[in-house]
Amino acid sequence: MAVDNVSMQIDRGEVLGVVGESGAGKSMTGAAIIGLLEAPGRIAEGEILFEGQRIDTLSDDELRVIRGRQIGAIFQDPLTSLNPLHTVGRQIIDTIVTHLKLSQRQARARALELLQEVGIPAAKERIDHYPHQFSGGMRQRVVIALALCADPKLIIADEPTTALDVSIQAQIIALLRKLCDEHGTAIMLITHDMGVIAETADRVAVMYAGRVGEIGPVADIIHKPKLPYTVGLMGSIPSITTEVDELAQIDGAMPRLNAVPPGCRFHPRCAHAFERCHIDLPELIKAGSSEVACWLYDEKKPGKGPSVSRKETARKKKASAKAAEALPLVKVDGLKQYFDVSPPWLTRVLERSGRQIVKAVDDLEFTINRGETFGLVGESGCGKSTVARAIVGLYTPTAGTITYMPGENGGATAKERVAEFDDKIQMIFQDPHASLNPRWKVADVISESIPEDRVSADRVAELLRQVGLADADGEKYPHEFSGGQRQRISIARALGGEPEFLICDEPTSALDVSVQAQILNLMVDLQRRLGLTYLFISHDLAVVHHISTRVGVMYLGRLVEWAETERLFANPQHPYTRLLLQSVPDLSKIGMRRAPMAGEVPNPLDPPSGCAFHPRCPFVQDRCLSERPMSIEVDGTHVACHAVEEGRV
Amino acid sequence: MVAFILSRVLQAFIVMLGVAMIAFSLFNYVGDPISNLVGIQTSAEKREQLRESLGLNDPAPVQFARFISRTVQFEFGISYQQKRSVSSIIAERMPATLELSFVSALLALFIGIPMGVYTALNRNSWLSHAMLSLSLVGVSLPTFLIGIMLIFVFAVQLHALPSFGRGQVVDLGFWTTGFLTASGLKALIMPSITLALFQMTLIMRLVRSEMLEVLRTDYIKFARARGLTRRTVNFGYALMNTLVPVITITGLQLGSIIAFAIITETVFQWPGMGLMFIQAIAEVDIPVMSTYLMLIACFFVIINLIVDLLYYFVDPRLRVDRGW
C-alpha cells in the first residue's frame, strides 16, 4: 500500500502544495487523480471528485476527455517530457485539436499564442523547432504551454522545477503563478522543496510514508508546524536568511512502504511518541487552522506540541576567525581548464568551422585556509565540478597552478602534488548509489582507502563509528543501505587515509532534506573533531550558506565574487550574486512575488564578450561588453565587476 | 550533412579494403593456386613458368594492387572448377538469392513489427503470450530443421508445394525472376518462410522490448496526461520512437538474411549464391569463395550506409544543429 487514506481538497484557483520526502506517496497521489497509476498500482479504496463528479470510476476513454481538458499535468524533467521526434508546434497542435473544435490553422494560431504567453522568444520560428533545440528552462515553458493548451481548471505539477537551476526555477514558478492567476487555474504543486512551497502555495499538505500528516495554510505550516515530523522537517531546512549552529535532525529514515511500523508511522523517529502512538494510527484532527494527524493534539491528551528551535551560535564566527589566522592550505592561481569538443576533422574541413574549446574554468584564483569550509556555488555548467576535479588531480590544468600548503611546499605542480599528497586530499561525490562498488562489502570499500600498513579491522570499525554507523555494517553490501547511509560510507572511505582536505562535490544534492541535515551535521562534527578543511561545492545556496565559512560564486567558468559567508549573503556585491540570492526560494518568503532574473546561462561554447554576465545584467554598460573585469577587493569581498568598481551599483 | 555522408563513405571504403585483403590472402594461404590449376603430371619447370607468367612471384603489395584493380573492374577471375568467369556465375546466381532475401525481409518486417507492437500494447492478453511462446520456437529451432519439417509436411505429405528449386523462371536478359510464374511463386513460399522465421521473431522481440521501454518514458506519460487519443499516443508517439533504434538492428538483420541464406538454399536446393558458395568450399574453388566474401561484405556495407542515412532522417536530434 503506497498511499493510505489520503484526503485533500483543492479549491478553484487555489495552489495546494504537497510536500514530503521521496517515497512519501506524493506523486502517486497526483497520478491517481488523473488516472495514470501504473500497473500494478490501482485505487483500492476511496473516491476522487472533480467539480462534484466522481472521476475515479470513469472508463479510460471518459477519463481521457478530462485529462488535458479539465486537469492538466506537468512533470519534473522537461528534458524527457517532450516527444523528441515531433516539433513542439505539432505536439501542441495535436493536443489542442484533441480537446477543442478547432481547425489545424486555428490550432496553430492558438499554439503560437500559447508559446508567446509562456515567454518563448521568437515563437514564430521556434514553433517549428524540435525539443532538443530548446534549453531546459525553455522546454519547461513549452511543457507549461502544453498543459495549459485546453485551459484546464486544475494542473497537477509534479516537481516542476526540481531539474532546473535556481534562476530558471524562479522564472518558472513566477510564470506558473501568473498564468494560473490569469486563467483561474488551481494547482496541485507536488515538491520536496519547502522554499518553492513557501513562495507559491496557499495551503500545504505534508505527506509522510503514504499518509497526510498535516494540512493547513502555508504560513501556519512553516511558522507554527504542529506535527513533530513537520517541526523536524522545517528545522532541518537550511536557510539563506538565518544562521544556525546545527540543523534540527530527525534520526533514521522514512520506512519503506512495505514495512511500515504499526500505530503512527512516524513514531520510531518521533521524540514525543508515547504508548498510544505505538498502537493506534492517528487520523487528521482539527488543530487551530490546520488539521494534523497526531495523538499529541487529541483532546484526551492535551499537551504542548513541539516547537521549532533555531539556536544561534557562533560556530562559524569562531571558525572563520581561526581560519583567518591559519595558513592557506590550498592556493589556486590562474587556473584554466579547457576542453576540446571539436567535431571530427572532416566535418570541420567541410563546414569550415574551427576548433571548439569549452573554457570550463577560466582564470580562477582563490585560496582555502586550513580549517575552514570554502563553499563554491553556481548554476549547472558553471565549472564548479571541474574545479574540484582539477584540484584533486583528475584533470591536468590547461594553465595555472594549484598549490597545496603553499607555505611549506613552494609551488608544486599538479602531478607532483598528487603523488605526494595522495592521502591528504580526498573527494566525496554526489551520487552515493554510483560511487560505491556494489560488489564489495562496506569494510572492503573502506579499507581500500586506508594505507596498507595501517589496515586493520579496528581501524575500519573506528571509521564506521566516526560516521555514525555500526561496526557490524562493515559486513554488509552497499545496496543494503539507504542513500544517507551510503553517503556516510563515502565519507568514511574518504577519511580512511586521514586526510586534511576533503573536496565535497554536491554531497547532499541527491538526498532528502531530513537526511541532508544529518549529513551536514555529521560533516560539521567531523570538521570540529578532526580539524578538516572542506571545499564544499553545491548549487544550493542555502546549504552553502549553512556550512561554509567563505563562499565563492562562479558564473561561466569564472569566480565573480568571493567573501566570508556572512558578508556575501548580507551584502552581496556582484549583480549576479544579488540576483541569485533573490531567486532562491526561501521559507521566509511566504507568498512573495518578485521579478526573477531574466535570461539563461549562455552556451559555454560561445560565451559573451567582456564580462560573461553582461547579457543578463541590469547594470550593463559599454565597458562590460568589451573588457573583462578583473577581481578587486571591496571591504573584504573579492568581486569582478566594472559596475562595482565604478561605484555604479 | 555532407560531412556525415562523406565520413560514412570513407569508413565503408576502409572496411571494403580490409575485406579485399582477406579475400586476396585466401589465394595464397588456402592451398597453392598453381596446384589447383594444373594436373599432377605437370613438371616443376612448367609450374615455375606458370607461376612467373601469372605474376605470382611478384611481391605481395604488387599482387594486391593488381587484385584490387581487377576487382574494381568486376574481374574476379576464372572459377577453378567450372572454368567460367566468376562474374558470370555470380550474375547468374544473384537474382535467385536476392529475390528470396527480399521476400523474406518483407515477411520478417511486415509480420514481425505488427506482432511486436501488438505484444507490447497488450502485454497480458493470451494472444501475446502465445506469440511470445511461439517466437521462442522460432529463435531456438535451427533453420534447417524448420526447412526439413516444412518439406515433410507440405511437399512430401500434402504435395502442395515443390520441395526444391525455383520452379519456372522468366529470363529478362539481365535478371531471371520467379515472380512472374505460378510455379516460381509457389517455390518461393517455403524457403522464404524458413529464412524469415528467425528474423521475424527477432524483430518482434526487439520491437516489443523497445516499445515497452518507450511506453515507460515521461513523454508518453505526459502525452497521456494531456488526454491525447490512444491511437496518437501509441502510434504517433510510441511507435515512431520505437522505430529509431529498431532501424539499426533491422538493417543489419537484412544483411544477414542475404549472407545466411546459405543454409536455406542448401536445404531447398535453391540455385542462389549460398548454394554456390557451399559447392565452392567443397571444391576449394578459391576465386568463387573470395568473390562471395567481398560481395557479402559489400552488401553489408551498403545496407549499413543506408541505415545510417535513414537514422539521420528519422531522428531530428541528429539532423539539426543543437541549441540556440
* CB of A478 closer than 8 Å to CB of A489: yes
Residues B57 and B129 in one domain: no
Three cell numbers written together for A479 = 545496496
Three cell numbers written together for A68 = 488535458
Mean pLDDT score, A417-442: 81
Read off φ and ψ for residue B109, nearest 5 degrees: -70, -50
CA angle A63, A66, A70 (to 5 degrees): 155
Residues B67 and B136 in one domain: no
Q: How far apart are CA A90 and CA A72, in angstroms?
A: 18
Residue environment code for A69-99, b if the CB has 16+ CB neighbours within 10 A, otherwise e: bbbbbbbbbbbbbbbbbbbbbbbbbbbbbbb
Residue bearing cell 522554499 = A195
Among chain B residues, the shortest Cα distance to A72 is held by B226
Three cell numbers written together for A195 = 522554499
- Facing residue for A81 by CB, picked from B222, B227, B228: B222
Q: How far apart are CA B180 and CA B95, in angstroms?
A: 13
Which residues lie across from A217 on neighbouring strands? A203
Enclosing H/E stretch for A637: strand A637-639
Q: How confident is the model at residue A377 (pLDDT cuts 50, 70, 90)?
A: very high
Sheet holding A154-158, edge to edge: A71-74, A154-158, A186-191, A15-19, A203-208, A211-217, A290-292, A285-287
Residues B150 and B23 in one domain: no
CATH topology of domain A1-70+153-313: Rossmann fold (3.40.50)
Q: Is residue B84 part of a domain?
A: no
Q: Do B226 and A146 touch (CB under 8 A)?
A: yes
Q: Is residue B77 part of a domain?
A: no
- At residue B95, the 3 state secondary structure works out as helix
Q: Do A84 and B316 touch (CB under 8 A)?
A: yes
Domain range for B35: 2-72
Q: How far apart are CA B313 and CA B265, in angstroms?
A: 35
Quick check: B244 contacting A, CB < 8 Å?
A: yes
The dihedral built from the CA positions of residue A277, A279, A281 and A287, taken in this order, carries a sign that is negative
Choose the mutation target among B219, B241, B247 for the interface with A, i.e. most A CBs under 10 Å: B219
Three cell numbers written together for A153 = 481548471
In tens, the pLDDT along A13-23 reads: 889 999 988 87
Locate the DSSP E strands across B137-286: 170-171, 176-177
Q: What is the pLDDT of residue B322?
A: 36
What residue type is B263 in one-letter code? I
Using the 8-state DSSP alphabet, how is residue A67 labeled? Answer: B
Could you give the C-alpha distances from A439 to A393, A432, A447, A452, in angstroms and in order? 26, 14, 15, 21
What is the maximum alpha-carbon separation in chain B?
A: 87
Which residues lie across from A204 on neighbouring strands? A17, A216
Q: Do A603 and B323 touch (CB under 8 A)?
A: yes
Q: Is residue B79 part of a domain?
A: no
Mean pLDDT score, A268-294: 85
Q: What is the pLDDT of residue A300?
A: 60
Taking Cα atoms as reference points, which of A232, A535, A507 lies closest to residue A364?
A: A535
Q: How far apart are CA B304 and CA B253, in angstroms?
A: 10
Q: What is the pLDDT of residue A316?
A: 56
* CB of A402 closer than 8 Å to CB of A414: yes
Residues B208 and B298 in one domain: yes
In tens, the pLDDT along A293-351 reads: 888 887 665 555 555 554 445 555 555 555 556 678 888 888 888 988 877 777 777 77
Q: How confident is the model at residue A2 (pLDDT cuts 50, 70, 90)?
A: confident
- Facing residue for A130 by CB, picked from B7, B230, B316: B316
Q: What is the pLDDT of residue B321?
A: 46
**Using alpha carbons only, how large is chain A's radius of gyration in Å?**
26
- How far from each other are the two terminal CA atoms of chain B, in whole angstroms? 19
Q: Between the ranges A306-310, B38-42, B104-108, B312-316, where is the mean pLDDT highest? A: B104-108
Quick check: B84 contacting A, CB < 8 Å?
A: no
Using the 8-state DSSP alphabet, how is residue B322 labeled? Answer: P
Percent of chain A past pLDDT 70, that is, above it, reads 92
Q: Is A243 left (phi over 0), alpha (psi -120 to 50) or beta?
A: beta
Least confidently predicted of A151-160, A174-183, A298-307, B138-147: A298-307
Q: Is residue B88 part of a domain?
A: no
Q: How confident is the model at residue B323 (pLDDT cuts 50, 70, 90)?
A: very low
The domain that contains B237 carries what CATH number? 1.10.3720.10
Among chain A residues, the shortest Cα distance to B222 is held by A81
Q: Is the pLDDT of residue A554 over 90?
A: yes
Q: What is the pLDDT of residue A274?
A: 84
Residues B114 and B148 in one domain: yes
Q: What is the pLDDT of residue B207?
A: 93
Three cell numbers written together for A194 = 519547502
Other C-beta atoms closer than 10 Å to the C-beta of A146 total 28
Sequence ranges of the domains in chain A: 1-70+153-313, 78-151, 315-333+359-571
Residue bearing cell 520506512 = A255
Q: How far apart are CA B108 and CA A52, in angstroms?
A: 52
In tens, the pLDDT along A561-571 reads: 999 998 999 99
Residues B65 and B154 in one domain: no
From the centroid of its chain, how far is CA B38? Answer: 35
- How would you classify the pairing of strands A558-564 and A637-639? antiparallel
* CB of B158 closer than 8 Å to CB of B170: no
Choose the mutation target among B226, B235, B244, B246 for the interface with A, i.e. most A CBs under 10 Å: B226
Residues B66 and B100 in one domain: no
* CB of A279 closer than 8 Å to CB of A210: no
Q: Do A147 and B226 touch (CB under 8 A)?
A: yes
In tens, the pLDDT along B209-232 reads: 999 999 988 899 899 888 888 888
The CATH code that applies to domain A315-333+359-571 is: 3.40.50.300
Least confidently predicted of A288-292, B37-41, B98-102, B122-126: B37-41
Q: Is residue B202 part of a domain?
A: yes
* Set of chain B residues whose Cβ sits within 8 Å of the Cβ of A114: none
Chain B: nearest CA to A601, how far in angstroms? 12
Q: How far apart are CA A178 and CA A185, in angstroms?
A: 10
Q: How far apart are CA A192 and CA A206, in angstroms?
A: 10
Q: Do A75 and B222 touch (CB under 8 A)?
A: yes
Q: Do A64 and B317 touch (CB under 8 A)?
A: no
Q: What is the pLDDT of residue A421?
A: 66
Is the ipTM higher than 0.85? The answer is no
Three cell numbers written together for A46 = 476511496
Q: Do A133 and B240 touch (CB under 8 A)?
A: no
- How far from each other are the two terminal CA atoms of chain A, in whole angstroms? 56
What residue type is A599 in one-letter code? G
Residues with Cβ < 8 Å from A467, sequence gap 6 or more? A488, A489, A491, A492, A495, A522, A526
Could you give the C-alpha distances from A156 to A10, A180, A363, in angstroms and in order? 11, 12, 45
Which residues lie across from A16 on neighbouring strands? A188, A203
Locate the DSSP E strands across A51-129: 53-54, 71-74
Q: Is the pLDDT of residue A205 over 90?
A: yes
How many beta-carbon contacts under 8 Å exist across A and B? 112
Same fold, A1-70+153-313 and A315-333+359-571: yes
Q: How far apart are CA A286 and CA A284, in angstroms?
A: 7
Residues B250 and B211 in one domain: yes
From the centroid of its chain, how far is CA B228? Answer: 40
Mean pLDDT score, A489-512: 89
* Set of chain B residues whose Cβ sits within 8 Å of the Cβ of A64: 224, 227, 229-230
Q: Is residue B222 part of a domain?
A: yes
Which residues lie across from A637 on neighbouring strands? A634
Residues B314 and B184 in one domain: yes
Q: Do A351 and B3 touch (CB under 8 A)?
A: yes
Q: How far apart are CA A416 and CA A421, in angstroms?
A: 8
- How would you classify the pairing of strands A501-505 and A425-428? parallel
- At residue A372, the 3 state secondary structure works out as coil
Could you give the C-alpha distances from B106 to A437, B110, B196, B209, in angstroms and in order? 47, 6, 8, 21
Number of domains into which chain B is organized: 2
* CB of A70 closer than 8 Å to CB of A124: no
In tens, the pLDDT along B167-186 reads: 888 888 778 888 888 888 88
Q: How far apart are CA B23 and CA B290, in angstroms?
A: 5
Could you give the C-alpha distances from A68 to A62, A154, A339, A479, in angstroms and in order? 12, 9, 44, 39
Taking Cα atoms as reference points, which of B178, B74, B237, B153 lies closest to residue A91?
A: B237
Q: Half-sphere exposure of residue A215, counting CA atoms within 13 Å on the CB side? A: 17
In tens, the pLDDT along B3-35 reads: 778 888 888 899 999 999 988 888 777 767 777
Three cell numbers written together for A596 = 526573477
- Facing residue for B227 by CB, picked from A64, A80, A130: A64
Q: How confident is the model at residue A181 (pLDDT cuts 50, 70, 90)?
A: confident
Q: Is residue B150 part of a domain?
A: yes
Residues B15 and B126 in one domain: no
Long-range contacts of the stretch A455-463 (C-beta < 8 A, 24+): A459/A496, A463/A492, A463/A495, A463/A496
Quick check: B219 contacting A, CB < 8 Å?
A: yes
Q: Do B222 and A82 touch (CB under 8 A)?
A: yes
Residues B144 and B25 in one domain: no
Percent of chain B past pLDDT 70, that is, above it, reads 97
Q: Is the pLDDT of residue B324 over 50?
A: no
- At residue A199, the 3 state secondary structure works out as helix
Mean pLDDT, all residues of chain A: 84
Residues B33 and B156 in one domain: no
